[in-house]
A and B are shown apart, each in its own frame.
Chain A
Amino acid sequence: MTGRTNALDVIDLTAGYGRIEVLHSVSFSVPVGAVVALLGPNGAGKTTTLNCISGVLSPTSGHVHLNGHHVNGAAADKLARAGLCTIPEGRGIFPNLTVTENVSLFAFASQTSPKDIEERTFTQFPRLQERRSQLAGKLSGGEQQMLAMARALSSDPAMLLLDELSMGLAPKIVEDLYEIVADIGRQGISVLVVEQFARRALAVAQLGIVMVQGRITAVGEPADIYDELSAAYLGGAA
């Protein structure tokens, strides 16, 4: 009986690879229209959590509710058509398609015409318009990440999952990208950001979740979880 206030509920999620359990009964929620940052050091299980939500990985036990619907074990493509959009770690683009093709490809999920999607995207990301007929693989790292986000937005998602947005990018570019994330949040799309560089993500998030070794150690407003966060990164209790 999940209320309509949460876009995503993760309840007692346990998952792993082979015999190794990575997540130990993880629970948290993402309210509708909120930007939530899932933070933690390397190997905390952040990406695994994300993979369980997006349907790429099947959890061993526990539940994932999307808009109140139980979605465990649903295939990734079904979830995507139901409005869940994921930008995976590392550039989530198709390097051998052009920028335009990358963007319009995902008219698949929605019923919008490719032309409308292109127009909307290119107004939001003028930089991409300049590069529209280039192969996506030839873009710079920042542009590729921008394209990944543009493409994600083109499918008009209800919820966006972002994995390691800042990976391998210059601080200035990361800043720009987080501006876009904040913008997306203001449009009413719920966002779950997974990030190692906590400060950047917390600046735009309404809620922070700290994860260490497959367990949630703190949940709260950005200001409240800083202590817990430094403990998580420095490896001891503050």
Chain B
Amino acid sequence: MTNFVTFTVIGIVVGATYAIAASGLVLTYATSNVFNMAHGAVGMFMTFLYWEVSVNQGWPVWVALPFVLGIAAPAMGLLLERVMMRRLTQADVTISLVVTVGLLVALIGVAQTIWPPAGRNIEQFFNGDAVSFGIVRVSAHQFITMGVALAVAFGLYVLLNRTRIGTAMRAVVDNRELLALHGARPNLLSGLAWALGSSLAALAGILLAPQLTLDYTTLTFLVVSAYAAAMVGRLKSLPKTFVGAIVLGLLINYATWAYISLPKSVLTSDFGQVIYGVKNSLPTIFLLLVMLALPQEKLRIGRISGTKLPKLPSWPVALAWSAVFIVGTYLLTGQFGDANNSRFGQAMCLPLIMLSLVLLVGYGGDVSLMQLSFVGMGVLVAARGFTIPGTGIGFHPQVSVLSIVTAFLLTAMIGAIVAVPALRLRGLYIGLGTLALAAAIDRIVFNTKLLGFGNEGSTVNANRPGWLQSEQSFAMAVVVAFVVMGLMVLSIRRGKYGRILLATRDSQAACATLGFSTTITRVAVFAVSAGLAGVAGVFFAGEHISVSTYDVFFFKSLPLLLFATVFGVTSISGVLVGGLVYGLIGYAPTTVGNLASVVLLLGILLLGGNPNGLVGLIFEQARKVPLPWRRGGLPVEAEPYPTHNPARSALEAPVGTA
């Protein structure tokens, strides 16, 4: 009984913090149509700032708290709205996800630069004083958390439903221009929403922090729980979000209770590790279940999301470049030593992985934040081998044609299984769902001895075949794999299937009226893309020889997509450059790497969400250079699709004399 009450109280308190974080998320999403993947990162950053002023600088709580919640966090929200979110309200989901993921990566980078890793703690409010209610003790901190959550719930409800400003905030999403036509200031309203949203993220972070040591990723990803809660309210309804948050909080704590009541023999067994993973993945499993319960997304008519793709190279040109690339890298790697060849080969693995994104994101217009999980599965196939039990038929743990084929089939199959439920939904939900699934796979599969690598941080080893032992030869194997798979992607794009893919991406409704099953197309592309990532995993394992769980940590799928998008996820050259840059940044000092993420973010903003990326931009400019062998001089400059809405920019034009 005591246990039950204790776990219930803790569950409600934890749920209350989720509710605070989730309500900030719902508020910003409902008023700007941008789902902020960096919501948790904002909370993390502000919690570090709170630590800085209250612990490091020694400000009293009553100064530090209002400073962070009332000044710093709102200022950050306003800034984000002004420079970033305002441009994204009409953008494609992929773009807004990538930009906010970029913000997440950048915030972690900046936080790591300002506050280098060290053990930091935030004290509970009122020094952990507690009150006893019969059998259960409730700390003042827990009381405050619950009270604050209630106040936030009530305050937001009144704001959004009972005040004119709140109604107008909701109206901003419906029709920004119309609202302006009737005298409201949409920019001011969304600015206000983002300021408030940031404060709520900060509040949740500060309330949660005393229970954990201050850490960049834990705090950032605690909001996966917030996403899960917000999903109960379909990202719109605050009351349902609160219910979802409390239910989730209770669920997690009852699960903990059940887990610690298991017999010791189970806990310490290999299977116990899997149970532990399941327990820790409850928020993500909850999120996936909620998504399954959501009704199927309706086809949207009259919406064309087409963007201009870069020009496709012809077969002769593509083959010529492939040959040049292979010969060039062969000559170059001949000059490198072993150490550099190993670095080059490892960096080349990233473009190889990103090729799967070209197909899925670039051509297909879908989004996946779990590509690295498929890579991890490929690694496991190569490193653990595969034998059909009892028959002895199979192959040794080695990079081989068999392991490549097995990795492709296995990951493609898993990809298809994942895609079927995910693709019922819209881009944003696919992004969230795949991220959640990736986190769950990390804990339940990769971090267990039974199915994956072993405990967190464990490594597995893969063997290279005899004729590819040297660093140069294996690096070249990765290069050849990239070229071959790149040509495969290109041939898909050039064929009938590729045209269906592009048509699906541009307008699903139009495709459906022509009799194409868009679901089959999207499931197939998801599966093939997963398969390619799995194959990349085999090469990844061969190149690294020893791969740890950290190498395939689900979080790393985010920068993967980010780099691919910034450099051009719609072209093979784009991911080649993006992947190599990402791979090579890994060898730079941490500060440089952290700063690079900020530079990247600025890059995306400059691109204005152009999915063809930097490389696409360079090619576009290069084509305008008149060269003697170009027939007819300058090519005709095509009018870009009207992605830019003149009405919108006019709204933001400076005010004249009225």
A residues contacting B by CB (< 8 A) are: 17-18, 51, 54-58, 69-82, 85-86, 88, 92-97, 101, 104-109, 114, 151-152, 155
Interface string of B220-246 (1 = CB under 8 A from A): 000000000000000000000000000
Contacts of A82 in B (CB 8 A): 658
Inter-subunit contact A92/B178 (CB<8 Å): yes
Inter-subunit contact B655/A78 (CB<8 Å): yes
Inter-subunit contact A108/B182 (CB<8 Å): yes
Taken together as a complex, chains A and B put the C-alpha atoms of A125 and B651 apart, in Å, by: 31
Contacts known (A76-B651, A105-B167); A86 close to B181, Cβ less than 8 A: yes
Inter-subunit contact B658/A94 (CB<8 Å): no
Inter-subunit contact B183/A57 (CB<8 Å): no
Contact of B650 among A57, A85, A86, A101 (CB under 8 A): A57
Asked if B654 CB lies within 8 Å of chain A CBs, one says: yes
Inter-subunit contact B184/A97 (CB<8 Å): no
Least CB distance from B415 to A in Å reads 35
Inter-subunit contact A107/B181 (CB<8 Å): no
Contacts of B656 in A (CB 8 A): 71-75
Identify the closest chain A residue to B646 (Cβ).
A17
Inter-subunit contact B173/A114 (CB<8 Å): no
Asked if B171 CB lies within 8 Å of chain A CBs, one says: yes
Least CB distance from B643 to A in Å reads 12
Identify the closest chain B residue to A87 (Cβ).
B181
Inter-subunit contact B174/A76 (CB<8 Å): no
Inter-subunit contact B180/A80 (CB<8 Å): yes
Contacts of B646 in A (CB 8 A): 17-18, 57
Asked if B120 CB lies within 8 Å of chain A CBs, one says: no
Counted as pairs of residues, one from A and one from B, with CB atoms less than 8 Å apart, the total is 114
Can you list 21 residue pairs at the A/B interface with Cβ under 8 Å? A51-B650, A54-B181, A71-B657, A74-B656, A75-B656, A76-B180, A76-B181, A76-B650, A77-B185, A85-B181, A94-B174, A97-B170, A97-B171, A97-B174, A105-B167, A105-B168, A108-B164, A108-B168, A108-B183, A151-B182, A152-B182
Contacts of A56 in B (CB 8 A): 177, 180-181, 647, 650-651
B residues contacting A by CB (< 8 A) are: 164, 167-168, 170-171, 173-175, 177-186, 639, 646-647, 650-651, 653-658
- Identify the 10 closest CB pairs spanning chains A and B, nearest first: A73-B656, A109-B183, A80-B183, A94-B174, A74-B658, A76-B180, A81-B183, A77-B180, A94-B171, A78-B658
Inter-subunit contact A74/B181 (CB<8 Å): no
Contacts of A18 in B (CB 8 A): 639, 646
Least CB distance from B180 to A in Å reads 4
Taken together as a complex, chains A and B put the C-alpha atoms of A197 and B457 apart, in Å, by: 72
Inter-subunit contact B658/A88 (CB<8 Å): no
Contact of A109 among B182, B653, B655, B658 (CB under 8 A): B182
Inter-subunit contact B653/A58 (CB<8 Å): yes
Contact of A80 among B168, B170, B182 (CB under 8 A): B182
Least CB distance from A113 to B in Å reads 10
Inter-subunit contact B183/A155 (CB<8 Å): yes
Taken together as a complex, chains A and B put the C-alpha atoms of A58 and B646 apart, in Å, by: 9
Inter-subunit contact A58/B183 (CB<8 Å): no
Contacts of B650 in A (CB 8 A): 51, 55-58, 76
Identify the closest chain A residue to B175 (Cβ).
A94
Least CB distance from B175 to A in Å reads 6
Contacts known (A75-B653, A80-B183); A88 close to B177, Cβ less than 8 A: yes
Identify the closest chain A residue to B188 (Cβ).
A77
A108, A114, A155: most-surrounded residue (chain B CB, <10 A): A108
Contacts of A108 in B (CB 8 A): 164, 168, 182-184
Contacts of A104 in B (CB 8 A): 164, 167
A56, A70, A93, A101: most-surrounded residue (chain B CB, <10 A): A56
Inter-subunit contact B647/A75 (CB<8 Å): no
Inter-subunit contact B164/A114 (CB<8 Å): yes
Identify the closest chain A residue to B161 (Cβ).
A101
Identify the closest chain A residue to B648 (Cβ).
A56
Contacts of B658 in A (CB 8 A): 69, 71, 74-75, 78-79, 82
B170, B182, B646, B654: most-surrounded residue (chain A CB, <10 A): B182
Taken together as a complex, chains A and B put the C-alpha atoms of A135 and B301 apart, in Å, by: 21
Taken together as a complex, chains A and B put the C-alpha atoms of A57 and B652 apart, in Å, by: 10
Contact of A75 among B164, B175, B180 (CB under 8 A): B180
Inter-subunit contact B164/A105 (CB<8 Å): yes
Inter-subunit contact A73/B183 (CB<8 Å): no
Taken together as a complex, chains A and B put the C-alpha atoms of A114 and B651 apart, in Å, by: 26
Contacts of B657 in A (CB 8 A): 69-74
Taken together as a complex, chains A and B put the C-alpha atoms of A95 and B178 apart, in Å, by: 12
Taken together as a complex, chains A and B put the C-alpha atoms of A155 and B164 apart, in Å, by: 14
Known contacts A80-B180, A155-B182; 5 additional CB pairs below 8 A are: A18-B646, A77-B182, A93-B178, A97-B170, A152-B182
Inter-subunit contact B182/A85 (CB<8 Å): yes
Least CB distance from A190 to B in Å reads 17
Contacts of A114 in B (CB 8 A): 164
B167, B175, B181: most-surrounded residue (chain A CB, <10 A): B181
Taken together as a complex, chains A and B put the C-alpha atoms of A146 and B171 apart, in Å, by: 18
Taken together as a complex, chains A and B put the C-alpha atoms of A96 and B234 apart, in Å, by: 14
Taken together as a complex, chains A and B put the C-alpha atoms of A112 and B655 apart, in Å, by: 25
Taken together as a complex, chains A and B put the C-alpha atoms of A56 and B655 apart, in Å, by: 12
Taken together as a complex, chains A and B put the C-alpha atoms of A77 and B652 apart, in Å, by: 10
Taken together as a complex, chains A and B put the C-alpha atoms of A76 and B180 apart, in Å, by: 6
Identify the closest chain B residue to A19 (Cβ).
B639
Identify the closest chain B residue to A136 (Cβ).
B174
Contacts of A105 in B (CB 8 A): 164, 167-168, 171, 182, 184
Taken together as a complex, chains A and B put the C-alpha atoms of A95 and B185 apart, in Å, by: 19
Inter-subunit contact A51/B647 (CB<8 Å): yes
Contacts of B164 in A (CB 8 A): 104-105, 107-108, 114
Contacts of B639 in A (CB 8 A): 18
Contacts of B173 in A (CB 8 A): 96
Least CB distance from B544 to A in Å reads 50
Identify the closest chain A residue to B177 (Cβ).
A56
Identify the closest chain A residue to B166 (Cβ).
A101
Least CB distance from A151 to B in Å reads 7
Contacts of B181 in A (CB 8 A): 54, 56, 76-77, 80, 85-86, 88, 92
Contacts known (A57-B647, A94-B174); A74 close to B655, Cβ less than 8 A: yes
Contacts known (A57-B646, A73-B654); A106 close to B183, Cβ less than 8 A: yes
Least CB distance from B508 to A in Å reads 21
Taken together as a complex, chains A and B put the C-alpha atoms of A126 and B458 apart, in Å, by: 71
Taken together as a complex, chains A and B put the C-alpha atoms of A69 and B656 apart, in Å, by: 12
Taken together as a complex, chains A and B put the C-alpha atoms of A86 and B168 apart, in Å, by: 17
Inter-subunit contact A96/B174 (CB<8 Å): yes
